[in-house]
Amino acid sequence: MARITLKIRAGAKKTAFAGKLGNVWKLQVAAPPVDGKANEALMKFLAKLAGRPASAVRIVSGFTASMKTVEIDGIDANTLDRAILESHGPETHTGIT
């Protein structure tokens, strides 16, 4: 089982990772933060990314907050990190800090 901490920004143009800050992945979610829609979209996105059924993904803390801890059954942390990095594409440097 892998556990990941996410900083969510709901209502984005598309659902995608937007980098990492320390040990927290930043994830933009296209769904609005209304009636659990963003959480549902987040869980479906992570399930697809990890190659697991949606039932394997659960939010364990931060259900109504922008900082969430999510667990995914059937995948280890290294494999999940690799899948996130591959989905995120190569890191780009703009020269702006």
Strand 16-21 and strand 2-10: pairing?
Answer: unpaired
Find where tokens 């993904």 sit: 57
The number of beta carbons lying within 10 Å of the beta carbon of residue 15 is 19
Strand partners, 20: 25
Evaluate if residue 96 carries a pLDDT over 80. no
- Dihedral sign for Cα atoms in the order 65, 44, 69, 58: positive
Spatial distance between the Cα atoms of 56 and 8, rounded to a whole number of angstroms: 20
Task: State the chain's mean pLDDT as an integer.
Answer: 90
Q: Can you give the pLDDT at residue 94? A: 47
Give 33-60 pLDDT, tens digit per residue: 999 999 999 999 999 999 999 999 999 9
pLDDT reading at 84 higher than 60: yes
Residue labelled with tokens 């290294």: 78
Q: Residue 62: CB partners within 8 Å, gap ≥ 6?
A: 68, 69
In the predicted model, what is the mean pLDDT of residues 16-43?
Answer: 94
- The CATH number of 2-73 is 3.30.1200.10
Beta bridge partners, 2, equal 72
Q: What are the residue boundaries of the structural domains of the chain, listed by start? A: 2-73
